[in-house]
Amino acid sequence: MTDQPLAGQVAVVTGAAKNIGRETAMMLAADGASVVTNGKTDEAAAKAAVAEIEAAGGRAIHHMADIADPDQAEGLIAAAVDAFGRLDILVLNAGIRRQHSIIEIPLEEWREVMTMDLESPFVLAKAAIPHMLENGHGRIVTLGGTSAHTGNVGRAHVGAAKMGLLSLTRSIAMEFGPQGITANMVAPGHIDTVRGDAAGERSSSGAGRPIGRMGTTVEIAAMIRHLCRPEGAYITGQCLHVDGGIYLGGA
């Protein structure tokens, strides 16, 4: 494999200003991809990510967009194609967490989570796939969460959206695999990230996981990168749990 196996390819990474998205953008750029980093509000962080990629010799731009707005989501894909002439990789990392008991979730909050965590990936994928079909090649990676599979008190809406996203991911894999497009989900466990107040407290579940520590953003981004590299071409329709064994242990 060459030092830059993604040379000539173009990637869009949502939620790339920090945490898993930022680390993923860095890795894809290091592999030779031209990267479009997306953020919603923290433009300084988005610009800093681009500056770091460029300082390392990579190519990147940032594009601020609220991807919960369909027009802005479609505009993100258009911006990538306008800037770099094509689109090969779509990493659907951005999402929101809210935390309430099922009987206390306001309907507006349920809809907010569904819009951001399920509808916006649909809109983005729908806009991106035609460009991938032109290339005869594409990689779509969605971000799920182990707690969606095990159940989690306080996040019924997040879990429901992520399981819907898994179904969407697998449908993309089935429909467009013959045209060279793969689609997979990476489901992180407890990852050491910076979280907003609205996400609520970290879950205490999984304390007895086989690997007795939190995961890192590097470990999640490395799996995403693997799925985008040539050696990931025979993996599609899968949900890959990178969680220290939480799902295995049923914790």
Range(s) of the domain holding residue 165: 10-249
Task: Determine the pLDDT at residue 193.
Answer: 79
Query: Taking the chain, what is the end-to-end CA distance rounded to the nearest angstrom?
Result: 38
Split into its structural domains, the chain has a count of 1
- Report the candidate in 121, 192, 194, 117 with the shortest Cα–Cα distance to residue 155: 117
Q: How far apart are CA 126 and CA 80, in angstroms?
A: 15
Question: Domain containing 68 — which CATH number?
Answer: 3.40.50.720
- Report the candidate in 51, 60, 69, 73 with the shortest Cα–Cα distance to residue 31: 60
Pairing of strands 181-188, 34-39: unpaired
Count the helices and strands in the chain (H runs, E runs): 9, 7
Would you say residue 1 lies in a domain?
no
Q: What are the φ/ψ torsions at residue 215 (nearest 5 degrees)?
A: -85, 170
Q: What are the φ/ψ torsions at residue 124 (nearest 5 degrees)?
A: -65, -45
Each residue's pLDDT tens digit, 133-183: 999 999 999 999 988 888 888 899 999 999 999 999 999 999 999 999 999
Q: Contact at 8 Å (CB) between 49 and 56?
A: no
Q: Contact at 8 Å (CB) between 38 and 32?
A: no
Arithmetic mean of pLDDT over the chain: 92
Would you say residue 2 lies in a domain?
no
Would you say residue 74 lies in a domain?
yes
Least confident of 62-76, 121-135, 160-174, 199-213: 199-213
Would you say residue 5 lies in a domain?
no
Would you say residue 28 lies in a domain?
yes
Each residue's pLDDT tens digit, 82-95: 999 999 999 999 99
Would you say residue 117 lies in a domain?
yes
Q: Contact at 8 Å (CB) between 147 and 100?
A: no
Would you say residue 3 lies in a domain?
no
Would you say residue 84 lies in a domain?
yes
Q: How far apart are CA 113 and CA 162, in angstroms?
A: 10
